[in-house]
Structure 1
Amino acid sequence: MPPLDPSPTAAPDPGPLRRDLVAGLEKGLAVICAFDQEQERPLLSVTELAQRCGLTRAAARRYLITLQHLGFVRCERGRWALTAKVLRLAQSYMHSGRLPRLVQPELHRLVATLKEASSAGVLEGDDVICIAALSAGHLVSSTLQPGTRVPAYCTANGRVLLAALPEAQLEAWLSGRALPPLTPQTITDPARLRTELARIRAQGYALVDQELETGLRTLSVPLVSADGAVLAAINVSAHAARRSLESLLEHCLPALRQTQANLRRQL
């Protein structure tokens, strides 16, 4: 594939007028999303939710009561948690979204060919959200499943998507951003990350060696539409004990690029 061309710089989208937005829906969704910020503590108090969402305690309580009435949250001894009904929101996207429906069959072919796990993701804020994933029968990482979020700066899918951003947008993304070391090999220096993203842009793929998790190696290419827009990224993930970096490039990159080409005709 030719080098990645960052999307052309466009005038900033001013967005909708505030009067056209439904504030209650916006805040209700913010309450649901607040539970995603700290997975180690699935139970949150009204005060904690109010702080996370920028609401008064009274307002946060009303949103929680409404969501409880609708079946999306439950209360346990004064603390709140999401219910399984929230999964219906994700299922609606997975079943009706055009991108995951097109990607999933290609993942099956890719995994059957390489006998390695594969996933596709899109950039959202700091993270990459997995929209489709398939294992090859052996556990590589718990992050390789639909709906999981991983940091963009230290993952192959994330770096491919960051490399495709217009320069000004990339600089805004990197500005003042913390890059904590998740393993001893994680790139944490912004200048070094900029250099790596420029290299990815030039070569058209990203190869990440044990920066998210020790033992996890990942190779990724962008999913590009027929008009040249980068819509998502797709990867192959393997344990370091199973695949060397050279093996990923020699054996997996051609298959990834074939999948990329197959999808480009459909996107």
Structure 2
Amino acid sequence: MSAARALDDLAALAAPLPTSASTGSESTGPLKRDLVAGLEKGLAVIEAFDQERPRLTISEVAARTGLTRAAARRYLLTLTHLGFVSQDRKMFALTPKVLRLGQSYMHSARLPRIVEPELHKLAYALKEASSAGVLDGNDVICIAATSAGRVVSPTLQPGTRVPAHCSGNGRVLLSALPQADVDAWIARQELTPLTPHTVTHPERLRIEIARARALGYACIDQELELGLRTVAVPLKNYRGDIVAAMNISVHASRMSMDQLVEHCLPPLLQAQAHLRMLL
């Protein structure tokens, strides 16, 4: 892209948009008596494990889930009995069987099946990596990806999670939210700098999200990883609802941001238009 604009020139883009709360159509959600608390807590135990903490004790699981130590023990023993967790003395860890949960989504969900062929066309036409993702809390989860033979980043594979605030797919998905929801989302974030280029100032992030909303696409220049440049667009269904985001990622040594936008954005927008007829 051209030289970065001054923040005060972009401030107008961050003006509040109408929120969905004013429409009166917001769902109140299910009644508490209709929910299965045990299932909710069991899934929370599985989610307690991550890359930084692959092995946990009962006390650590209890602390991360808000369960009592006795309850955490019962859930861990149940998951061990079912084969989703393994135990080595006082330490517990997830087993490969947990992958079945993700595979059930990848094999049954309509969205990845529709998006994946278009990603392959894009990636092999441009000889660059392409991926699609959805917003999940603070992160973007990759639901489909292809590298076209280029290993650009280990994050570009199905099932990986990356922070939404510094990823292309995250920026365009956040730009689809009402401004009040964007403000609330930013207020909840720690905005950890993953590289020296990561935007960590809340107002600057608000402006960047507004820029993505105004332009219809987002560019990320080495904010997620050093050497990784990305351009992303939202994916809309036939009703105009944004259901996912799709990007092209390149290595910074091979392509400038101007070249990335000029070379990759037009085919990305063509794929976006094509997928809108299918979603």
2:138–2:189 CA contact under 8 A, matched in 1? no
SS at match of 1:175: helix
1:216–1:239 CA contact under 8 A, matched in 2? yes
What does the per-residue CA deviation read over 1:75-99, in whole Å, with 9 as the maximum and x for residues that have no partner?
0121000000100100010011000
2:19–2:179 CA contact under 8 A, matched in 1? no
1:225–1:264 CA contact under 8 A, matched in 2? yes
Task: Return the alpha-carbon distance in structure 1 between the equivalents of residues 19 and 28 of structure 2.
Answer: 17
Matched, 1:16 2:27: no
Match of 1:174 in 2: 186
What does the per-residue CA deviation read over 1:176-234, in whole Å, with 9 as the maximum and x for residues that have no partner?
42212111111111111111111111110000000011000010000011111110000
Q: How does 1:216-235 map to 2 (within 5 A)?
A: 216-235=228-247
Query: Could you tell me how far 1:8 is from its partner in structure 2?
Result: 6.0
Q: TM-score w.r.t. structure 1 length?
A: 0.95
Q: How does 1:1-267 map to 2 (within 5 A)?
A: 9-10=20-21, 11=24, 12-36=26-50, 39-267=51-279
2:138–2:164 CA contact under 8 A, matched in 1? yes
Task: Return the alpha-carbon distance in structure 1 between the equivalents of residues 18 and 167 of structure 2.
Answer: 21
Query: Could you tell me how far 1:14 is from its partner in structure 2?
Result: 2.0
Between 1:160-169 and 1:12-21, the stretch displaced more is 12-21
* 2:37 counterpart letter in structure 1: A
Between 1:224-233 and 1:177-186, the stretch displaced more is 177-186
Structure 2 alignment gaps of length 5 or more = 1-16
Q: TM-score w.r.t. structure 2 length?
A: 0.91
Query: Could you tell me how far 1:244 is from its partner in structure 2?
Result: 1.1
Query: Could you tell me how far 1:41 is from its partner in structure 2?
Result: 2.6
* 2:178 counterpart letter in structure 1: P
SS at match of 2:253: coil
* RMSD over equivalenced CA pairs, Å: 1.4
Query: Could you tell me how far 1:7 is from its partner in structure 2?
Result: 8.7
2:19–2:180 CA contact under 8 A, matched in 1? no
* 2:70 counterpart letter in structure 1: A
Task: Return the alpha-carbon distance in structure 1 between the equivalents of residues 214 and 66 of structure 2.
Answer: 42
2:120–2:148 CA contact under 8 A, matched in 1? no
Query: Could you tell me how far 1:242 is from its partner in structure 2?
Result: 1.4
Query: Could you tell me how far 1:171 is from its partner in structure 2?
Result: 1.3
2:168–2:230 CA contact under 8 A, matched in 1? yes
Between 1:230-239 and 1:190-199, the stretch displaced more is 190-199
Match of 1:3 in 2: none
Match of 2:14 in 1: none
Moved over 3 A (4+): none
Task: Return the alpha-carbon distance in structure 2 between the equivalents of residues 75 and 183 of structure 1.
Answer: 36
1:206–1:219 CA contact under 8 A, matched in 2? yes
Task: Return the alpha-carbon distance in structure 2 between the equivalents of residues 41 and 9 of structure 1.
Answer: 37
* 1:208 counterpart letter in structure 2: I
Q: Work out the number of aligned pairs and report it.
A: 261
Query: Could you tell me how far 1:9 is from its partner in structure 2?
Result: 1.0
What does the per-residue CA deviation read over 1:115-174, in whole Å, with 9 as the maximum and x for residues that have no partner?
000100000100000000111212111111111100000111000000110111111111
